């Protein structure tokens, strides 16, 4: 796939998440995709396969009483890789998150095969997602 198609793929993922249309994500990830979230918080981990990834994504609004959301600012693409720069927002257990983050994507055969989440402020990210 070309850069334009890979950018469109990343934008479709953010759009589906924003519209709370989880089923729209099903065909956008490889069956064996991997999503990695750094840290020690409740959302940290390595999620392997579509089902684990979808459970992870479904847990975000549950952990934040439906307040979690994101605003996509830009997508940069080079070959089979993309970086999505966005702001994540939410409230959880009396804490507020408004943090710029980057998701690094790798695509294969028109679907996402790997995602790595990178918060711009690791300590703020950890504080928000801590038990």
Kindly report, residue by residue over 16-29, the tens digit of the pLDDT: 988 888 778 888 99
- Report whether pLDDT(10) > 80: yes
Q: What is the pLDDT of residue 17?
A: 87
List the beta bridge partners of residue 75.
84
Please enumerate in sequence order all residues whose Cβ is within 8 A of that of 38, keeping only pairs 6 or more positions apart, or say none: 44, 117, 118, 119, 122
What average pLDDT does the chain have?
94
Q: How many domains does the chain have?
A: 1
Q: What is the pLDDT of residue 15?
A: 94
Kindly report, residue by residue over 72-120, the tens digit of the pLDDT: 999 999 999 999 999 999 999 999 999 999 999 999 999 999 999 999 9
Q: What is the pLDDT of residue 25?
A: 85
Q: What is the pLDDT of residue 23?
A: 75
Residue 124: alpha-carbon gap to chain centroid: 17
Q: What is the pLDDT of residue 119?
A: 97
> Which CATH number do you get for residue 13?
3.10.450.50
What is the domain range of residue 8? 3-129
Percent of the chain having pLDDT more than 90?
88
Q: Check residue 54 and give left, alpha or beta (phi > 0: left; psi -120 to 50: alpha).
A: alpha
Point out the least confidently predicted range of 6-10, 20-24, 57-61, 112-116: 20-24
């Amino acid at each position: 796939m070309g850069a334009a198609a890979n950018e469109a793929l990343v934008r479709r993922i953010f759009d589906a998440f924003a519209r709370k249309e989880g089923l729209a994500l099903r065909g956008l990830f490889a069956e064996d995709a991997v999503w990695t979230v750094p840290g020690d918080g409740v959302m940290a981990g390595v999620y392997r396969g579509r089902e684990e990834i979808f459970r992870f994504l479904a847990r975000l609004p549950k952990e934040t009483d439906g307040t979690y959301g994101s605003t996509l600012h830009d997508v940069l693409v080079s070959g089979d890789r993309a970086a999505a720069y966005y702001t994540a927002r939410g409230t959880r257990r009396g804490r507020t998150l408004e943090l710029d983050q980057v998701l690094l994507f790798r695509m294969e055969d028109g679907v996402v095969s790997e995602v790595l989440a990178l918060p711009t402020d690791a300590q703020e990210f950890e504080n928000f997602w801590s038990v």
